[in-house]
Structure 1
């Protein structure tokens, strides 16, 4: 006679198990893990950026400045150009949050409207720098030989020019006394000077990225399959070489905001009646002791904008570089 306990153990049915033969590889994984697809470089970078408080803080300030530059009327109804002398150097209060300048103009309105000129000059200068430097870097790195040598020597000539001194020479040479400061010509000259003096750095970054990428297996395979130069550059080289330029371009926006303010402070950049943070700082330098608020508010916005772009660039650099994660 068999033992009842043994008989119950033998007769207990086992739960059905999935067949090992022909079963999918992710049969035992959770549902969310089955649907997750492998991410690329940008996907991994975004996942890393989402966990960084520094990224969200800097991005929030940048969005605020961009909205401020695009729609200044959302923040103030004041007139940034015209004022009343009866309000000359009135300190901050309920009627004027940031006070009034020497000519009785609302400092808060001027700070808000000043973001437009500074950010427009910086963004357009960065776009021109990336376009010129990136194009020449791709040509020099991909073609090599005498083309690389010629473009590199041209870049060395511009790279050896002192930035501030070169910008002063360009602006004082082309900005004649007959130029109307209220027209976009002076802004175009500032953008031109910043672009001409900055593209060699971008050219070197792009050239080094192309030299490190053009001998990769997928480039060699595309060339062996008969792909033309244009297709190889646009479809393979450019997407894989944009990461350093993206990081440098973000940092460069903040640097160009500071550069525009420096040139305007020296009197060779933007001029009145254009409203910018650099012009406001230049106008307030003679009243630092008696009315320090005239300098404090535009300088605070300028420093915050520069630091926001620099911090965003650093966060993007750490996210795109696997060695820094």
Structure 2
């Protein structure tokens, strides 16, 4: 299942409103099929893995990061029907589908056909890998990651606005990888005016995975940009389940104040600026007590001389 979850990450930021599912088929201890949701949402992970495995699927074990879909679609047959036809011995599912059109119907139909079904294997990890889909379904908006690159004293630029470069090459490369894993990327109008950012992915081989650029506020941008007037308007972004917010300080504060941030990426460079521009503006915190218990650290690692810290909202 861990391998299936890793496969699901390949589709992150490319499947629109569809979940980025991963699927692995195992026969006699050998992987005979692998799949992940393809760009635009089709083929589904199960369909891709089943096609690869062919007749070897009979009597095999299928590992899916989400319950196979059971609702009809003009875009192709349901994954439940494909799996039933392939006649595996077992289907192991990480998490149920949150879409009521499929929820429990997929596993029930498989069980009724005589296929052994298990649910809940590495469920938390699967939820995290497909958080964009779950956030969209539960909250009606994209999953939001706020990225900040700052000095040790919490500055994102010098007092005159100079910010190139606070972090080193490895940290910046990692930030571009994060861009490649999102549907859209957002900055404030002030950042557009000051920096004229491209917001593309500049990693060899991943240039085609640049996210849709979005600006918060009024600014002169190219025609392919999307403009929104307030943070809550991210709910209206089309085909967007994963959103990366890159600031600056006022934009970061507005998303935190609106309680729209699900994940924090903090890149810290071993430098002191002093008197520079702070990473985050006023978020309307009324009491220090309220600030505690809001975030859980998931990861901390070195990227060259810089430090990356990853946090997600506490449950």
TM-score range, shorter chain: under 0.3
Task: Compute the TM-score of the two structures, normalised by the length of structure 2.
Answer: 0.20
- Whose relative contact order is higher, 1 or 2, with alpha carbons under 8 Å and at least 6 apart? 1
Instruction: Kindly indicate which of the two structures has a greater share of residues assigned to strand.
Output: 2
Instruction: Kindly indicate which of the two structures has a greater share of residues assigned to helix.
Output: 1
